[in-house]
Amino acid sequence: MAEQLMSAFESSLDKTNVILKEIESAYGWPAQRRNQSYAALRTVLHLLRDRMPVGESVEFAQQLPVLLRGIYFDGWQPADVPIRLNRDDFLYEVRQGFPYDVEGGPQRVVRVVLDTLRRHVSQGEWQDVTSNLPRGLDQLTA
């Protein structure tokens, strides 16, 4: 039993690392910048989570590795969602949660993270996620 739990944890860790490495690869970052890829992923995940209705948010989270699911739900206040942000407010919140200066600014951070997440969830679920993005940001996922 303990061996199965370790295997499930290791699998989740491996899947999470694949996602982080894809973000790093998109930027050309070395693995030593793992804090930046984590901050980008966490920030965008939290903003997506808070924009979606509770049911949609839970359905999306079910497709994430267990480790990312924990990060996704960390600090979640389901009674306070969905929070409506326009494009500029969304990008402002990305900048607040991702305090690194990177090429392309917060708009590129959003694009890179969304492109990465899209490859790890079903097409139908991804359509649900993007339908909750502010106008103007949905174009980043095309």
Contact 90, 52 (CB under 8 A): no
Residues belonging to the chain: 142
Pick the CATH number of 2-141 from 2.60.120.10, 1.10.490.110, 3.40.190.10, 3.90.950.20: 1.10.490.110
Q: Which two tokens stand for residue 22?
A: 């894809």
Q: Give the amino acid at 20.
A: L
CA distance 56 to 51: 10
Please report the pLDDT score of residue 139 as a whole number.
67
pLDDT for res 9: 84
* pLDDT in the model for residue 3: 64
Arithmetic mean of pLDDT, 74-85: 95
- Which pTM value belongs to this model? 0.91
Task: Using alpha carbons, list the distances in angstroms from residue 50 to 6, 12, 28, 29, 110.
Answer: 31, 23, 29, 28, 15
Confidence of residue 140 (pLDDT cuts 50, 70, 90): low
pLDDT at 81: 94
Is the pLDDT reported for residue 8 higher than 90?
A: no
